[in-house]
């Protein structure tokens, strides 16, 4: 199975400041056949179901604010929040869809300082 490792596990942030979350995979998530990188990002706010933020490396899901962006390549990936807002607190997960079984990272908890 592909192992997904997220860092840091906890990230205190200041509203209005940028934030950066990392995710690393044990194997490349780049599919040379179609040129896609199968890495998604999810946010789970307290008491809610997860919601999709970014899919296939860098595509924002409909309705997701443009302060969220995804980047990276191969095995190293980053989710950036350009200016953190209070509503951004919660658990952030990366997930790989490159091969079965799909696997999630353990999550990064973002909280306001």
Partner 1 sequence: EVRLVQSGAEVRKPGESLKISCEGSGYSFTDSWIGWVRQTPGKGLEWMGNIYPGDADTRYSPSFQGHVTLSADKSTGTVYLQWSSLRASDSGIYYCARKTGGFHGWGQGTLVSVSS
Site for partner 1, rule CB under 8 A: 40, 42, 49-52, 54-56, 59, 61-62, 93, 95, 97, 100-104, 106-107
CB of 106 to partner 1, least distance (A): 5
Q: Which residues contact 31 (CB under 8 A, 6 or more apart)?
A: 37, 38, 98
Is there a contact between 94 and 104 (Cβ–Cβ < 8 Å)?
Answer: yes
What sign does the dihedral 82-104-107-29 (CA atoms) show? negative
CB of 16 to partner 1, least distance (A): 28
- The tokens of 77 are what? 């990936």
**Which CB, 49 or 86, lies closer to partner 1?**
49
CB of 19 to partner 1, least distance (A): 20
**Which CB, 46 or 101, lies closer to partner 1?**
101
**Which CB, 59 or 67, lies closer to partner 1?**
59
DSSP H or E run through 48 = none
């Amino acid at each position: 199975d592909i192992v997904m490792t997220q860092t840091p596990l906890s990230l205190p942030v200041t509203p209005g400041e940028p934030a950066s979350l990392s995710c690393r995979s044990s194997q490349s998530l780049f599919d040379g056949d179609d040129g896609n990188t199968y890495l998604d990002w999810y946010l789970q706010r307290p008491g809610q179901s997860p919601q999709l933020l970014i899919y296939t490396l860098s595509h924002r899901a409909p309705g997701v604010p443009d302060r969220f962006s995804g980047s990276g390549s191969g095995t190293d990936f980053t989710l950036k929040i350009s200016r953190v807002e209070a509503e951004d607190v919660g658990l952030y997960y990366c997930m790989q869809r490159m091969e079965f079984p799909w696997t999630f990272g353990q999550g990064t908890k973002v909280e306001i300082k």
